[in-house]
Chain A
């Protein structure tokens, strides 16, 4: 039987923020009186995570992903609700709890800019009190896995983004945490670095480490996660397997078409042109339940002299829209 490692119940977080107009008058006015507004970042979400899971937390910008992650790591206090992670309340037992977790923030570095990552690793060794032998073994394993042995002794500022990100992973994993939180860990990375990091995550997950990955990049989820939670406007709109998500949204493809000829009406079932980028370039959505991909490519090849054809997964916003539409349709039945 799998063991629940994180239990979240009715978690809410409300930020108080201030509203100001754009004009000069509004700016001056805001010096004396500001209009405060409450922003509900999380509206009472509940879920559980089992030991050894690799969970994807998906959602558009501002959906509440990072807020959830920051509460789960003990960084933020929630407005209300309960979180028990490995028997701790993260924000109350922060010091003891964080010895068991690691985190990589794609946009916030744990490394020190002017000195080599190796020095930062040694600092982490002291902070976590890792025995010298364990530290050396772990460091060797990780540098081999991520192929950064040559880079860790160069000043951080001289490393490429990919090399830096690999070192961020080492920094987060040196103390062998049981849970690792990843916030947009592959943002801005090239395909090779991205692949290496994904392999590393899968390898660590196989050894029993629980990963919670927040991203708005669907390809990260597809390569890594088995279970997906989608949040939108502070609510969970989907919590199930990746296969189930595909059943809901995998029928929709985003297609960019470029032709040598002017593109007129496209007479293919299930196609909806969403944007005419120019006379020769259009963007469209294809519902593959009406016309399969093979058939679509065959028909489009007959109708136009193609110069380029790009088939992609739809953006996360479209997927959420699709999820809502599916739910509405299901509730009407």
Chain B
């Protein structure tokens, strides 16, 4: 009866789920357009602050306005990819655990993380990606064009920024399994990741260590931008190693929390 191998099955199922999510979303087109615009506006808050700071004669020491905007655009692009394609797993888990419908996913023959991700596709957040790309293009126009190797390094670090966001999503989903109905999880994430929208050098040494070695938040914007700008930071290697550990730890934590799942009453 089962005709295909698991990988092909997983890919096909993923596309089918995205198709279904889009069809479902298009049932409420007005809400979709409005949500996309609101998401984009909310995302522009940090760049707007940066613009205000620089237009009033102040600055982040050692950083020009377009260099800071570049960091923020990379942060937006990373979120613009993460949020529609996998970050929705946090809300998906939160609501499914509260309603007991995680059960429905657990009786399907794919990995639970994959099932949570594929049933969480949310095209509203695509606005973040458009906004990020636009801001990135504007910033790059005012900055020296990077060399080929810088682009390669940027691409690798950008992938790691997505890895970091994935690990965050996994940890928050795991928390949602045992911490039922706690919608403040996302606010905690927003507060923590806001560090990554600004140049590392403006923070004190302990915070710098925290966002490079302990939780490498610098990968979400600062480090990928710094290689494009040719401002190599000695902490990059520590951040890369730390991000791999962070990912492994997040998988371990998720698996551990799934064992604690209690479902809802019958």
Contact = CB atoms under 8 A, between A and B. Distances in A.
B188 to A, nearest CB: 19
Nearest to B101: A108
Interface stretch (A27-35, A92-100, A282-290): A92-100
A324 interface: no
Contact of A134 (B1, B103, B111): B1
B27 A122 contact: no
A94 B110 CA distance: 9
Contact of A115 (B13, B23, B107, B108): B23
Nearest to A176: B1
Interface residues of B, number: 36
A155 B263 contact: no
Contacts of A112: 20, 24
Given A73-B106, A95-B110, A175-B2, A214 B266 contact: yes
B20 A123 contact: yes
Interface stretch (A4-12, A125-133, A251-259, A294-302): A125-133
Contact of A70 (B28, B103, B110): B103
Contacts of B19: 119
Contact of A110 (B100, B104, B262, B266): B104
Interface residues on A, range: 35 or more
Interface in B93-137: 99-101, 103-104, 106-111
Contacts of A61: 266
Contact of A76 (B12, B27, B263, B265): B263
A186 interface: no
Interface in A97-152: 98-99, 101-103, 105, 107-110, 112-115, 119-120, 122-123, 125-131, 134
Contacts, number: 109
A119 B4 CA distance: 20
B24 A129 contact: no
Given A66-B266, A76-B263, A123 B13 contact: yes
Nearest to B258: A77
A130 B262 CA distance: 31
Nearest to A13: B262
A114 B1 contact: no
Interface in B1-24: 1-6, 8-9, 12-13, 15-17, 19-20, 23-24
Interface string A148-171: 000000010000000000000000
B259 interface: yes
B1 A130 contact: yes
B261 interface: yes
Interface string B42-53: 000000000000
Contact of A74 (B1, B17, B106): B106
Given A96-B109, A108-B103, A130-B1, A75 B16 contact: no
B102 to A, nearest CB: 8
Given A75-B263, A123-B20, A95 B109 contact: yes
A62 interface: yes
A122 B16 contact: yes
Contact of A131 (B3, B100, B111): B3
Contacts of A47: none
Which 9 residue pairs of A and B lie closest in terms of their CB atoms, listed nearest first? Answer: A66-B266, A129-B4, A126-B13, A129-B9, A114-B24, A126-B16, A131-B3, A126-B12, A114-B27
Interface of B: 1-6, 8-9, 12-13, 15-17, 19-20, 23-24, 27-28, 99-101, 103-104, 106-111, 259, 261-263, 265-266
